[in-house]
Structure 1
Amino acid sequence: MPMTTQQALVKVPAVTLGFWLIKVLATTLGETGGDAVSMSMNLGYLVSSAIFLMVFVAAVYWQIRAAEFQATRYWIAIIASTTVGTTIADFCTRSLGIGYAGGSALLLTLLAVSILAWYFTLGRVDVGSVNTPSAETFYWVTIMMSQTLGTALGDWVADTEGLGYLAAAEIFGGLMLLLLALYKFTAVSRTLLFWAAFVLTRPLGAVVGDWLDKPIANGGLDLSRYGASITLISAIVVLLVLLPQRAAVRAH
């Protein structure tokens, strides 16, 4: 179906089941990809964060420059946001020495500041309002903050609380199902539910990514981070082909 003029002005995808499936895979890729650079290549969290931040800024600039929604540009920017989120979260929680609880609190504060600044500047923070360069800028800053917070939350639950990766994945998966029930059966703000789900998919992907590549002694499968990352990229490409993304409808 041809894209309408209203849809073309919104350069982020409609929120569908396909969107969430690809988002979880992208966040898992962010974990394995981020760890591959910071740990496997032994570059450290600070250098890796600087590298991924430059990639993220370039990807967002490329996305904002587009005249209309393009799925490839969008998901490249999402993957860039989740890899930089991985290394920044690890830097905050490990290198700064404030721990997962302190890191999560700091990142939650930054996410709240981002959303509030967006709201008070433009008046709304829903996906359908992302149709100007200013809204896109706020959107992508908020995306990066949510990805970073999600990484810290995933590590906090899986490692600090000693639950392990699979148990942590069950917890975050259960919370996603709770949000789905709230969406289906209540009148809770759809915007609030979207951002809550967006944050929660990140720790879900983070713990799954850790489960794939962490040592068996630590509860992981000890798979190659490079191999896991390539597999996840392939899966994302397949889903983008099988489940084409369409632009969100412009908010009025």
Structure 2
Amino acid sequence: MVPATSASPTRFNKVPQVTIWFWIVKVLATTVGETGADLLTTNLRLGLTVTSWIMTGVFLVALVCQVRADDYRAPLYWITVVLISVVGTLISDNLVDGMGISLVTTSVVFAIILSIVFAAWYRSEGTLSIHSIVTRKRELFYWAAILFTFALGTSVGDLLAERLDLGYGAALVVFAAMIAAVAVSYYIIKLDEILCFWAAYVLTRPLGASTGDLLAKPQLAGGWGWGTVNTSLIFLAVIAAVVVYLTISKADHVTVEAAQS
């Protein structure tokens, strides 16, 4: 059993069980993170700075509500994931488009920061497992890691698709193949579960971003021309439908015994 401390009063696991629904909503959320950021900055002409301030503020409100909750609540959790996806995208875009830092540099820097977060988390808690997010400290480490997986995935996805001229479709195939390799490593080679989870989590970000760009970008830019508005609305509708199902069915809830073991 992993007891909750007085300073970290959470008793139950604060994240969903990792099922096929988890990965479906996660990829959809990453796609919305890409297209939603483009929608706000470009289509609505808010610009990177204004969009970043607004979305960071909204995200922080959602994060506070999520951390203060006593247990996992699907709507609140996935709203926070969608918002952190947008914020992670904006962090990368601000550095690359706003400050002119290269995608190679941001990819390396985000990878280093993510490694530092993981190292600090493991040193403090002795595990990186998402099956034991049962204290406030662990949850804060969890969300810090999530933020930089999104920022890292954005930079890596853009690096392959745009700067290396791989194209959105080809980049999507590459990241899908890498995720498949992680799945093989876990299910067949029996590689460490925690390592495989976080590798897949990082890779689903550029997979979702490449999907969003492929669907939303105009045909002249190598996309399908759906536009950021249509793509964002369609994916948000699917996310909402799945989250409603999960809320009603509780198919992704972790049992009390599992959360505390």
TM-score (norm 1): 0.93
The answer to whether structure 1 residue 38 and structure 2 residue 45 are counterparts is no
Partner amino acid for 1:45?
L
1:250 and 2:259 correspond:
yes
Runs of 4+ that moved beyond 6 A: none
1:4 is aligned to: none
What does 1:106-145 correspond to in 2, within 5 Å?
A: 106-145=109-148
1:76 matches 2:79? yes
CA distance in 2, matches of 1:242, 1:129: 24
CA contact (8 A) 1:35 1:87 kept: no
| Mapped pair 1:60 → 2:67 | no
Worse-matched range after superposition: 212-221 or 161-170: 212-221
Q: CA deviation at 1:251?
A: 5.6
Partner of 2:13: 10
Q: Secondary structure at the match of 1:250?
A: helix
Shift of 1:242: 4.3
Range with bigger deviation, 240-249 or 72-81: 240-249
Deviation string for 1:30-88 (max 9, x for gaps)?
A: 11111111121222223322222212211111111111111111100100110011111
The yes-or-no answer on 1:213 pairing with 2:216 is yes
Match of 2:8 in 1: none
Asked if the contact 1:110/1:145 (under 8 Å) is kept, the reply is: yes
SS in 2 for 1:60: helix
Aligned partner of 2:234 in structure 1 is 231
CA distance in 1, matches of 2:81, 2:105: 25
- Percent of aligned positions with the same letter in both sequences? 37
Where 1:29 maps in the other structure, the secondary structure is helix
Is 1:176–1:197's contact at 8 Å kept on the other side of the alignment?
Answer: yes
Q: Which amino acid aligns with 1:128?
A: H
Given the alignment of the two structures, is residue 200 of structure 1 paired with residue 203 of structure 2, yes or no?
yes
CA distance in 2, matches of 1:150, 1:31: 11
Structure 2 equivalent of residue 101 of structure 1: 104
Give the whole-Å Cα distance in 2 for the aligned partners of 1:233 and 1:113.
32
1:214 deviates by 1.3
Change (3 A) 1:251 1:68: closer
1:207 and 1:101 mapped to 2: Cα distance?
A: 17
Amino acid at match of 1:192: L
- Structure 1 equivalent of residue 6 of structure 2: none
How far off is 1:237 after superposition? 1.9
Describe the shift of the 1:112–1:46 C-alpha distance in structure 2 as closer, same or farther (beyond 3 A).
Answer: farther
Q: Secondary structure at the match of 1:239?
A: helix
Farther-moved stretch of structure 1 (152-161 vs 184-193): 184-193
Structure 2: state its 5+ residue gaps: 1-10
